[in-house]
Amino acid sequence: MSRRVVVTGVGLVCACGIGTEESWTNLVAGRSGINTITHFDTTGFDCTIAGEVKNFDPLNWVEKKELKKMARFIQLALAAVDLAVRMSDLKISPEESENAGVYVGSGIGGFDVIEREHKKLLDGGPNRISPFFIPSAIVNLASGQISIRYGAKGPNSATATACSASAHAIGDSFKIIQRGDADIMICGGSEASITPMGIGGFGAMKALSTRNDEPSRASRPFDLNRDGFVVGEGSGILILETLERAERRGARILAEIVGYGMSGDAYHITQPAENGDGAYRVMRKALKDAKIEPQQVGYINAHGTSTPLGDAIETVAMKRAFGEFAASMHISSTKSMTGHLLGGAGGLEAGISVLALRDQTLPPTINYETPDPACDLDYVPNKARKAAVEYALSNSFGFGGTNAALVFKRWDKS
């Protein structure tokens, strides 16, 4: 019999706050963290807005001498892990270190460092490149730095599955614990791609909103007048443990993770199939893994990026997956406030889903002003909602047609 896995800690760092409860409070209040980009000079860029993590001082989490070894995505991940560990009151003893693992994904990794070191190469030749360039930029060094800091000697890995990366990391961690290969997993994702190449690259695809004069109103998932997504940065981390270990140490259990689905579109490098086939199948796989019926899911944290095509197709997929029950479900996209964290999105939104179950409060989709006939479900528009929810589903879909869905269950203390 597979082991039960619970969430005992959530760490959130995003445009809505540096801290789990601060981020959650702002999300429930419907406050957008999206504003004009300050990380670089945006002259000449079509999109000049993003969901930056404001006033982030890495020295609160990293020693000064260590900073040169870490791109910003690693720094954000270490901050989120610290928040999650504190909430969980997690301590990894030497005796159990081999049963504690780390699995943190990122879609892009150290874009900031890659751009900086490439400029050094062009300006001064190869001898100007930092010896820390590679280990500060590659995707798996968030997991590596975390494992070193906390003495986690168990499974150590990283996903780079685009916008599904951290949902895959959480789902894979769930399965690692379930099958007995670890008792504890620190998992999730991190991204920091608000850089000239990051914004310029997505801008070249015409994927970004250009509502530059109204930053806080730019990300508007499922709204008729949505015109593209807004890039966000940050990190979302969960502490997963076996139920037995969590109860033995008297941990506060926030939710149980009960389902995980993966699928591939096999259709197009950036666009989903018009019938939402990959998204439909991944949701059904997650429900099957959780051993629940569609009508038992009360809340979906949608992928909902605010792109014209993506939101409409996700709506089609939800209708297919949930049938007659789709119309009565609560659905929201918190990307309306945080922006799209790309590889960090699934970790952030899994954490948000856990908090929604904990507080029985559903964060809204803000900027929902004009209904779209192609998006005709209940997207919890503009205002948070109290609701009795037993199961929450979190969707993540990535370029290359890679999809992940996670199912969490409300923790019943009785």
Lookup: tokens for 348:
């952030």
| Contact (CB, 8 A) for 261 and 404 | yes
Alpha-carbon span 274 to 376, nearest angstrom:
16
β-bridge mates for residue 402, sequence order? 264, 398
Alpha-carbon span 15 to 77, nearest angstrom:
14
Alpha-carbon span 331 to 340, nearest angstrom:
17
Alpha-carbon span 239 to 87, nearest angstrom:
9
- Which residue among the candidates 163, 168, 330, 375 is catalytic per the annotation? 163
| Contact (CB, 8 A) for 125 and 180 | no
Residue of 236, 289, 307 whose CA lies nearest to 83: 236
Amino acid in the structure at residue 15: A
- Which residue among the candidates 168, 303, 330, 375 is catalytic per the annotation? 303
Q: What is the DSSP letter of 381?
A: B
Pairing, β 391-398 against β 297-301: parallel
> What angle (nearest 5°) sits at the alpha carbon of residue 244, between those of residues 100 and 81?
40
Specify whether 163 is catalytic: yes
| Contact (CB, 8 A) for 75 and 146 | no
| Contact (CB, 8 A) for 219 and 306 | yes
Specify whether 187 is catalytic: no
Alpha-carbon span 55 to 48, nearest angstrom:
19
- Which residue among the candidates 16, 330, 340, 375 is catalytic per the annotation? 340
Place of tokens 């914004």: 199
Burial class (CB in 10 A: 0-12, 13-18, 19+), 374: middle
Angle formed by the axes of helices 345-359 and 20-28, to 10°? Answer: 70
Alpha-carbon span 87 to 278, nearest angstrom:
35
Specify whether 303 is catalytic: yes
- Hey, which residues are catalytic here? 163, 303, 340
